C-alpha cells in the first residue's frame, strides 16, 4: 500500500500557496512510480494510434518521444529539457545518435532515479532551469522538450534561451499543452484553475496554439509549426486513466479521488474545446 509522505504534504500546501520551485515539489510528490504513469519511467500522456487503454500505454509514451526525436539533427549536441525519469533519453539517443546528450531537469531526485536510463543513453545529467540554460551561445544542434514547457517559469524566456543556445540551423522540437480559449462557466473555471493549482503552474501559461507560434517567432525562431493533436494524446490518455483508476487498489482513497476529479475536469475542458496538446517544431535561422 502506498502511503502519504512529506512530499505529498508539501504538494498539498503548494495547492494553496505556490512555492519557489513548484515543478520540483509536484514531481517529488508524484515520485518514481506515479499511479497514472503510462509505464515505468514515463510521465507524458503519450501519442496514441488507438482509442486509449492499458495495452498501448507504454508504446504511446515512447512514440511521443520518438516522434519528436526523429526531427532532431543527427550526430550533434542535443539538450533534453525536462527529461522526467529518463526513460525518453535512450529513445532520443537511438534516434538522433547525438555526439553529446545533456539531460536537464529542475527536479534533482528524478535525475537520480533515472541514472540507469541516462547511463544507457550515454547522457549527462544537469540540474538546471529551462529558462537559464547553463550552456554557451550557439553550442547546441538540437533542443528537445517532451511535455515540460507548461511548467517552466516562463515559456517565452525558455524560447529565448533555446534561440540563444542553438547554432544557426539548429532545431527545437517539443510537445506541450495549449488552452484554446478562456473558461466562461463556473465549472470551466474550476476545472482550469484546479489544474493550474495542482500542477503548480502560472496562469499565464494558458495560451493557444497561435499565440505559442507567435511567441516562438518573437524569440527569433523560424519555420515554426505548432500542430494540435489532443485527439491523439489527451482523449486516449483519459480512456487509459479511467481504466487504470477503476482497478487501482493500493493508493490512498483521497489520492484516487483527486485523480478521478482531475480526469473529469480535463474531460470537461476537452468537450468544451478549451484544452489541447501540440507538437512544436522550429529552427534557428542562419545569420
Indicate whether 92 belongs to the interface with ligand SAM (CB under 6 A). Answer: no
The yes or no reply on residue 106 touching ligand SAM (CB under 6 A) is yes
In DSSP notation, the chain reads -----HHHHHHHHHHHS--SSHHHHHHHHH-TT-TT-SSTT--S----SSS--GGGHHHHHHHHHHHHHTTSPTTSEEEEES-TTSTHHHHHHHHH--SEEEEEES-HHHHHHTHHHHHHHTEEEEE--TTS--S-TT-EEEEEEES-GGGSS-HHHHHHHHHHHEEEEEEEEEEEEEE-S---SHHHHHHHHHHHHHTT--GGG---HHHHHHHHHHTT-EEEEEEE-HHHHHHHHHHHHHHHHHH--SS-HHHHHHHHHHHHHHHHHHHTT-EEEEEEEEEPPP-
Nearest residue to ligand SAM on Cβ basis: 84
Rounded to the nearest whole angstrom, what is the least distance from the CB of residue 57 to ligand SAM in the complex?
12
- The Cα–Cα gap between 176 and 44 comes to 10
- Which of 36, 104, 113, 259 contacts ligand SAM by CB under 6 A? 104
**Binding flag, residue 82, ligand SAM (CB under 6 A):** yes
Comparison of 88 and 265: residue with beta carbon closer to ligand SAM:
88
b/e code 146-160 from CB counts within 10 Å (16+ = b) = bbbbbbbbbbbebbb
In the complex, the smallest distance separating the C-beta of residue 260 from ligand SAM, rounded to whole angstroms, is 19
Q: Is 159 in the site for ligand SAM (CB under 6 A)?
A: no
129 binding ligand SAM? (CB under 6 A): yes
Between residues 168 and 203, which has the closer beta carbon with respect to ligand SAM? 203
Residue of 147, 161, 209, 235 that binds ligand SAM (CB under 6 A): 147
Of 52, 73, 84, 142, the one binding ligand SAM (CB under 6 A) is: 84
Interface stretch with ligand SAM, choices 78-86, 113-121, 190-198, 248-256 (CB under 6 A):
78-86
29 touches ligand SAM (CB under 6 A): no
Tell me the window of 150-158, 210-218, 226-234, 247-255 that interacts with ligand SAM (CB under 6 A). 150-158
146 touching ligand SAM, by CB under 6 A = yes
CB nearer to ligand SAM: pick between 131 and 194: 131
Question: Is 88 a binder of ligand SAM (CB under 6 A)?
Answer: yes
Residue number with CB closer to ligand SAM (40 or 168): 40
Residue of 25, 27, 121, 239 that binds ligand SAM (CB under 6 A): 27
Q: Which of 44, 178, 215, 265 binds ligand SAM (CB under 6 A)?
A: 44
Contact 191, 265 (CB under 8 A): yes
* Residues 258 and 197 sit within 8 Å (Cβ to Cβ): no
CB of 36 to ligand SAM, least distance (A): 11
Positions touching ligand SAM (CB under 6 A) are: 23, 27, 42-44, 81-84, 88, 104-107, 110, 129-130, 146-148, 151-153
Amino acid at each position: 500500500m502506498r502511503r502519504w509522505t512529506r512530499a505529498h504534504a508539501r504538494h498539498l500546501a503548494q495547492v494553496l500557496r505556490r512555492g519557489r520551485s513548484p515543478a520540483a515539489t509536484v514531481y517529488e510528490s508524484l515520485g518514481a512510480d506515479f499511479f497514472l504513469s503510462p509505464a515505468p519511467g514515463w510521465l507524458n500522456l503519450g501519442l496514441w494510434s488507438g482509442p486509449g487503454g492499458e495495452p498501448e500505454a507504454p508504446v504511446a509514451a515512447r512514440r511521443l518521444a520518438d516522434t519528436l526525436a526523429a526531427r532532431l539533427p543527427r550526430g550533434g549536441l542535443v539538450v533534453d529539457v525536462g527529461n522526467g525519469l529518463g526513460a525518453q533519453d535512450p529513445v532520443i539517443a537511438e534516434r538522433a545518435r547525438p555526439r553529446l546528450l545533456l539531460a536537464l531537469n529542475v527536479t534533482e531526485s528524478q535525475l537520480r532515479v533515472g541514472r540507469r536510463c541516462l547511463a544507457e543513453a550515454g547522457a549527462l545529467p544537469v540540474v538546471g532551469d529551462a529558462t537559464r540554460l547553463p550552456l554557451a551561445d550557439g553550442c547546441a544542434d538540437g533542443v528537445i522538450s517532451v511535455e515540460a514547457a507548461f511548467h517552466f517559469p516562463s515559456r517565452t524566456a525558455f524560447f529565448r534561451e533555446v534561440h540563444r543556445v542553438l547554432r544557426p540551423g539548429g532545431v527545437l522540437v517539443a510537445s506541450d499543452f495549449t488552452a484554446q480559449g478562456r473558461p466562461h462557466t463556473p465549472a470551466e473555471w474550476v476545472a482550469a484553475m484546479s489544474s493550474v493549482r495542482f500542477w503548480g503552474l502560472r496562469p499565464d501559461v494558458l495560451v493557444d496554439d497561435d499565440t505559442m507560434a507567435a511567441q516562438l517567432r518573437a524569440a527569433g525562431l523560424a519555420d515554426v509549426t505548432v500542430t494540435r493533436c489532443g485527439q491523439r494524446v489527451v482523449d486516449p490518455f483519459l480512456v487509459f486513466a479511467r481504466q487504470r483508476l477503476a482497478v487501482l487498489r493500493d493508493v490512498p482513497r483521497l489520492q484516487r479521488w483527486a485523480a478521478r476529479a482531475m480526469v473529469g475536469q480535463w474531460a470537461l475542458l476537452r468537450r468544451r474545446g478549451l484544452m489541447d496538446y501540440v507538437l512544436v517544431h522550429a529552427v534557428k535561422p542562419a545569420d
